[in-house]
Structure 1
Amino acid sequence: MLPRLIGCGPTRPVLLLLVPLLVAGCATTRPGAAPPTSAPAGSWSPTGSATPAQPEATGSPTARPAPSRTGLRYVFPVRSRKVGYHPTHSAYPGTDIFADCGEPVVAVTDGEILEVSRVDRFDPKGPRGPYNGGLSVSLLGDDGVRYYGSHLSVVADGVDAGVRVRAGQQLGLVGRTGNANNVCHLHFGISPPCPGRDGWWIRRGVVWPARYLDAWRRGVDREPAAEVRAWHRKHGCPPAPTSAN
């Protein structure tokens, strides 16, 4: 018998010498197996429910910030080269962003203005809490999260309840109204909107903003929607404050 060449493709010939071989097939996958596909890390529905392909890592110091699932753009709330802030805040979650008075305060993402205060009603001798913020703006982002900035010196013209704004649009100027203790800064809070049952104790902030601010400052679109929804599922809309600071 003469040698004969058979193959499993144009580049892999097999030499048959004396013993005939039965070649069953040359497939590299199991019969009936589907070809490998790449799936997105997660998906997002209009109701805000996520269906990740893998659980998100939490608490890992090496974990990279999760990308925005809504595709929204996020920007740092103060447009200035000279800013500073602490990762913590007294008595409740929030962040004081220190910058010179008069620096622009901008919308952190696309959304709609919820509330505006253009009058400083804070009285050091009066009740603490309701008017601590002085001049302030509250924005409901398209991610369903409320973003609150207070102690402004000026609220920009045209920034009124119901007005649509875009990420980076100027909302006002850094100031020291309310209980800012004569220190120029922006108080920044993140919370659920709690429509119809809201109070200043929720609006001032319920989740720590620092890790989102860190990401936005680096140009990373990290969104707080999942953390805010988790907080809301656990706490609802508390009817009374835990602290008046």
Structure 2
Amino acid sequence: MCQRSQHGSAGTGYSCQDGPVRLLRTLSGLTVIAVCLAGCGGNSGVGSASATPQFVEPAATSAAAAPEPSSVAPSLPAATSPSASASATPSATPSASAASALTATKKVKYVFPVKASNVDWHTTHSKYKATDIFADCGESVVATTSGVVLEVSLKDVYVKGSPDGPNNGGLSVSLLGDDGVRFYGSHLSKVQPGIKKGVRVKAGQLLGKVGHTGNANNVCHLHYGISPPCAKVGDWKVRRGVVWPYSYLASWRKGGSKSPVAEVAAWKRSHNCKA
């Protein structure tokens, strides 16, 4: 039986003198301890794994397992958003400069300028760098490569013994190739109808016939010169030839495609178009 008791200045309290009451209190305390040990899975091994999660802080688990929203958001839209795809589209289309570069590196077709089975040509030439291609009069003279006609001479006004000048070539055709090089052929007996300044031709197209007009010493041949198109027209000293054509002709005769572009460009840089 519990009764209220007085403990001096310490205040009042309850004092339980009854034995059964004490026993009940003791049993209650033991029950609480047992429940705690079973739930906490202590060192004694009591408890199961399924009970463990109820003692783990849920907030701490979420923070540790889930990525920060700010670290994920920037990467996903960049990879999946329509604007990112749209911005990538132009790069797949070649730019104008890229297209120009592709055109510049495209292989150029070259053709031997005299279409005949029996031809010969010299490795050198008198006074300046050119070549005389010997063939029968009347053999076909064709365009070395595709390009545009720059100059055409349709009359032979050369006077024997006169100083060197633009009339030396007699009938002639000058062509600016698509590779930027000028190709010149003279002493023709005939210029093909329709071949005139500004006309576009393709590689192998008929330009005229082999002859001996101008200062040809009455020998059938094609005077052949390679040069940069400095003044394009009128600059006969450059037009008649500034680099040796022999090795290029040898390549083209065998169906090769050796290009004079680099050598012609080098001459232009070093001579400033002064022959």
The answer to whether TM tops 0.5 is yes
Whole-Å Cα distance in 1 between the matches of residues 238 and 269 of structure 2? Answer: 14
Letter in 1 for 2:255: G
Once the two structures are TM-superposed, the CA of residue 45 in structure 1 deviates from its matched residue by 8.6
Tell me which residue corresponds to 2:200: 164
RMSD: 2.0
Whole-Å Cα distance in 1 between the matches of residues 233 and 136 of structure 2? Answer: 35
Tell me which residue corresponds to 2:118: 82
Match of 2:175 among 135, 139, 143: 139
Deviations 1:29-70 (A, max 9, x none): xxxxxxxxxxxxxxx99589x9xxxxxxxxxxxxxxxxxx43
> How many residues get paired?
177
Once the two structures are TM-superposed, the CA of residue 125 in structure 1 deviates from its matched residue by 3.7
Contact 2:150 2:175 in 1 (8 A): yes
TM-score, L = length of structure 1: 0.69
Letter in 2 for 1:170: L
Any unmatched runs of 5+ in structure 1? 1-43, 51-68
Once the two structures are TM-superposed, the CA of residue 103 in structure 1 deviates from its matched residue by 0.1
TM-score, L = length of structure 2: 0.61
Whole-Å Cα distance in 1 between the matches of residues 260 and 101 of structure 2? Answer: 16
Tell me which residue corresponds to 2:75: none
Once the two structures are TM-superposed, the CA of residue 124 in structure 1 deviates from its matched residue by 1.1
Match of 1:93 among 104, 120, 129: 129
Q: What SS class does the counterpart of residue 231 from structure 1 fall into? A: helix
Q: 1:201 to 1:157 in 2, by over 3 A?
A: same
1:72 matched to 2:108? The reply is yes
Q: 1:92 to 1:46 in 2, by over 3 A?
A: farther
1:148 matched to 2:184? The reply is yes
1:209 matched to 2:245? The reply is yes
Q: 1:170 to 1:231 in 2, by over 3 A?
A: same
Name the structure with the higher helix share: 2
Percent identity for Structure 1 against Structure 2: 60
Q: What SS class does the counterpart of residue 147 from structure 1 fall into? A: strand
Letter in 2 for 1:237: C
Q: 1:166 to 1:127 in 2, by over 3 A?
A: same
Once the two structures are TM-superposed, the CA of residue 128 in structure 1 deviates from its matched residue by 2.0
Contact 1:107 1:171 in 2 (8 A): yes
Match of 1:192 among 222, 228, 251: 228
Larger radius of gyration: 2
